[in-house]
Amino acid sequence: MPIYLNYNILDIDDDYQYALVSGRAWGYLWLLSRESSMPEQMRQRFLQKAIGLDFEISKLEWMDY
């Protein structure tokens, strides 16, 4: 079953490997990676961007692989 939703790409790296994405109503936030991990420098860049956009990053849930 496909899932459809509107989203906003807030930031993306030059090689399209990592992205910071929010839901349409800004109630959701994802840090996405094409790999199973993300370099700490990229993660910090996205977190700082999210803070600047008033996201509550303390509510983020981190997945371990």
Q: Using 50, 70 and 90 to split pLDDT, how confident is the model at 65?
A: low
On whether the CB atoms of residues 18 and 34 are closer than 8 A, the answer is: yes
Give the angle subtended at the CA of 47 by the CAs of 2 and 19, to the nearest 5°: 40
CA dihedral 44→50→54→56, nearest 10 degrees, is -70
Q: How far apart are CA 21 and CA 1, in angstroms?
A: 22
| pLDDT tens for each residue of 5-62 | 788 999 999 999 999 999 887 789 999 999 988 999 999 999 999 999 999 999 898 8
Domain ranges of the chain: 7-59
Strand order in the sheet with 18-23: 7-12, 18-23, 29-33
